[in-house]
Structure 1
Amino acid sequence: MSNRVVKSIRTAVFVAAAFAASTAFAGASDTSDVACGSTAAGWNVPNGGLVLSRGGGGGPIAAVLDAVGEYRTHSMFSHGPGGMVSHETMYTPGTNGWPTYCSTPVKAGELTTGFPGAGRINQGAIYQYLYGGGGNLQYLGYQRSRNTAGLNANGEAVSNWLLNSMPTVAVTSKQNSGQTFLRYKGPNGSPLNYVLYQYRDLEQVNYGGAGWNNGMVCSTMIAHAQYKAGLGAVDAYTYDHAKLTTAGNSLYNSVQNECSSGLGFWGGVGSSITCFENICDDAGRQVRNCMAAGRCDTDDGNVWNNIQNNGGTVARSISPDRLGGWSGHPYTGAGVSVWAYDTSNTIQWNSGGNVYGCWF
């Protein structure tokens, strides 16, 4: 069966699903997330492979991409079987104390400037990241760089650029002072943050720039690396106003419902402090303001209303599905990633050696 036919069939199967996460959120701070772990064997993903996943636990990012008909939740980059992994993520931000807790439950600084951001970690760390949250992955696969002529070395070229040309700084794990990992620095020379606003507007990240607050997210960072490696830009996709508003309202509902139901990170929110208002409503509005407008410090409903009531507002970004050429995104031609033409390959944990590591 041709690659084109395989892509079309798999897109039809996956398009109705969502962007769920054991991906973008996980945390230190005052959450129960665990940064460090080990694996008895590493993955089989070749050097230069794009790894895409979908978590099984739902979550805010899942709700956003559910709303626009996309599936995969996180994108990662392999530096070889059993080797290092580059990706961009953040731990779940902590919650504020009284009385700030009742209007902006989430710590604005941690929500605005997601840590660790872009980093390079080992197999123990990525295994903990993928499987340590207790939820089963719904999808995990890798894609090689290829085009209509067959497999090529473009993925390895991106790997070489990340390893040799993108500056890094070693940092100590927030949960194990004996462990370190590398954070990537952005064009301004500072470590890159994970910034939710990238889902609304990636700005010029895919052309080698950095976004607002020196930020990127998982898929925009990989698009950035492709461009910097000299392999051309991945074109951003414009989500029209209707999709923007649907996604924003789905995000709000996800946070509010998880908070009210005591699920995930939100399990402790609202259970220990009584407020005169609905704290879960506040949390939903605060997270939506952060993603939609970069206003992570307020639950003011007017921030979202001004966007929702302006028919000219859109979102412009690159998702994991766009990198992989799924869910209706192009997989051949100009402006696609170097991995988009490949189909999904099975990941096996069968390369040598036990390794322990921390992803934040």
Structure 2
Amino acid sequence: MSNRAVKTIRSAALVVAALAAPAALAGSSDTSDAACGSTAAGWNAPNGSLILSRGGGGGPIAAVLDAVGEYRTHSMFSHGPGQDVTHETMYTPGTNGWPSYCSTPLKQGELTSGFPGAARINQGAIYQYLYGGGGSLQYLSYQRSRTSAGFDTRGEAVSNWMLSSMPTVAWTSKQDGGQSFRRYLGPNGNVLNYVLYQYRDLEGVHVGGAGWNNGMVCSTLIAHAQYRAGFSPVDAYIYNHSLLQTAGNSLYNSVQNECNTGLGFWKGIGSSITCFENICDDAGRQVRNCMAAGRCDTDDSGVWNNISNNAGTVARSISPDRLGGWSGHPYNGAGVSLWAYDTSNTIQWNSGGNVYGCWF
């Protein structure tokens, strides 16, 4: 069966050159996420391969991507079997104290500048991130760089560029002071934050730039690295106004529902805080404003309404499915990622030994 047929069927069915001095601890948070864990063996993903996953717990990102007909929710980059992993993510922000939590429940700084952002972590840390001490995944696979002519070494070239030419700074874990990991620095020399607005507009990060608030997300970081390593850029995809509206409303409903039921992103907040208004409604509006407009400091419904009511507004970004060539995104030709032509390959945890680490 041709690679094109396999992709169609499966889609339908579903930096060594671092700054040496450690940075100061950025401060604690009351996040409920667990940063540290271990694995008895590392994964088998080859050096330079793209890792795509979908968690089993839903959440805001899954709600947005589901709304636009896409499936995979996170992208990572393997530096080899049992070796370090590069990705961009954030922990669930902590909540504000009284009275701020009645209008902006999430800590603005932690929502605006998601931590740890772009980071390189070990196998114990990525195992903890993916499985959360016993959690489940709906999907996890790797894809190697290839073309119609077969597999190639372009992915390894991106890996080598990250390890040798993309600066990092050592950072102490917020939950285990004896552990550290590497945070990547952007083109302007500042640490790269996780910025939800990248889902609305990736700006020029896929052609080497730095986004608003020095931010990227998982998939735009990898697109950025592809270009900075000397390869042609991944073309951004434009989600039309109707899809933008659908995604924004799905995001709002997801946050509000999880808050009301005490699940996921808003575990416990709805049952532990009493306000004169519905705090879960405020939570949904705050997160939607953050992703849609970069306004993480307010739950003002007017921010979203100005976007939703303007027929000329769209979203422009690169998603995990676009990197992988899934859900109708191209997997061959100009403007695709180096890994898009490959199909899904099973990840097995069978390399190396026991490793402990922290992802934030």
- TM-score category of the 2 structures, normalised to the smaller one: over 0.9
2:38 is matched with: 38
For 1:200, give the aligned amino acid: R
* Whole-angstrom CA distance in 1 between matches of 2:164 and 2:122: 17
Q: SS at the partner of 1:47?
A: coil
2:115 matched to which residue of 1? 115
> Would the aligned equivalents of 1:287 and 1:296 in 2 still touch at CA under 8 Å?
yes
* Per-residue CA distance 1:159-203 (angstroms, 9 max, x = gap): 001000001000000000000100000011011000000000000
List per-residue Cα deviations over 1:92-111 (Å, max 9, x = no partner): 10000100010110111100
> TM-score, length-normalised on structure 1?
0.95
Give the SS at the match of 1:226: helix
Name the counterpart of 2:180. Answer: 180
**Any idea what the Cα deviations from partners look like across 1:276-314, whole Å, max 9, x if unmatched?**
000000000000000000000000000000000000000
Whole-Å Cα distance in 1 between the matches of residues 219 and 256 of structure 2?
A: 26
Taking the aligned partners of 2:55 and 2:120, their CA distance within structure 1 comes to: 20
Give the distance between the partners of 1:226 and 1:61, measured in 2 at CA. Answer: 23
Pair 1:295 & 2:295 matched: yes
* 1:11 counterpart = 2:16: no
Q: Give, in whole Å, the separation in 1 of the partners of 2:296 and 2:91.
A: 15
Report which stretch shifted further, 269-278 or 333-342: 269-278
Could you tell me whether the CA contact under 8 Å between 1:31 and 1:265 is conserved in 2? no
Query: Deviation at 1:273?
Result: 2.5
8 Å CA contact retained: 1:240, 1:315 = yes
Amino acid at match of 2:354: N
Structure 2 counterpart of 1:163: 163
1:223 Cα deviation after fit: 0.2
Q: Give yes or no for the alignment of 1:326 onto 2:302.
A: no
* Structure 1 residues 1-360: aligned runs within 5 Å: 1-14=1-14, 29-132=29-132, 134-360=134-360
TM-score by length of 2: 0.95
Residue type at the aligned position of 1:232: S
Q: Secondary structure at the match of 1:290?
A: helix
CA contact (8 A) 1:232 1:335 kept: yes
Whole-Å separation in 2 of the counterparts to 1:224 and 1:136: 29
Instruction: Assess if the C-alpha contact under 8 Å between 1:33 and 1:133 holds in 2.
Output: no
- 1:99-141 residue CA offsets vs partner (Å, 9 max, x unmatched): 0010110111100000000000000000000001643100000
Q: Which string of whole-angstrom CA distances, capped at 9 and with x for unpartnered residues, describes residues 24-50 of structure 1?
A: xxxx72122110000000000000000
Q: Which letter maps to 1:236?
A: A
**Paired letter, 1:121:** I
Q: Which runs of 5+ in 1 are unaligned?
A: 15-27
Aligned Cα root-mean-square deviation (Å)? 0.8
Letter in 2 for 1:222: I
Where 1:58 maps in the other structure, the secondary structure is coil
Paired letter, 1:327: S
1:176 and 1:119 map into 2 onto residues whose CA distance is 16
Identity, % of aligned positions: 83
Instruction: Provide the rounded CA distance (Å) in 2 between the counterparts of 1:153 and 1:198.
Output: 29
CA contact (8 A) 2:49 2:79 kept: yes
Q: Deviations over 1:193-225 (max 9, x none)?
A: 000000000000000001100000000000000
| 1:267, distance to aligned residue in structure 2 (A) | 2.4
CA distance in 1, matches of 2:59, 2:32: 15
For 1:353 and 1:138, locate their aligned partners in 2 and report how far apart those are by CA, in whole Å: 25
Structure 2 runs not aligned, ≥5 long: 15-27
**Alignment length (residue pairs):** 347
Residues in 2 aligned to 1:202 and 1:293: alpha-carbon distance in whole angstroms: 12
SS of the residue aligned with 1:138? strand
Alpha-carbon distance in structure 1 between the residues aligned to 2:214 and 2:232: 22
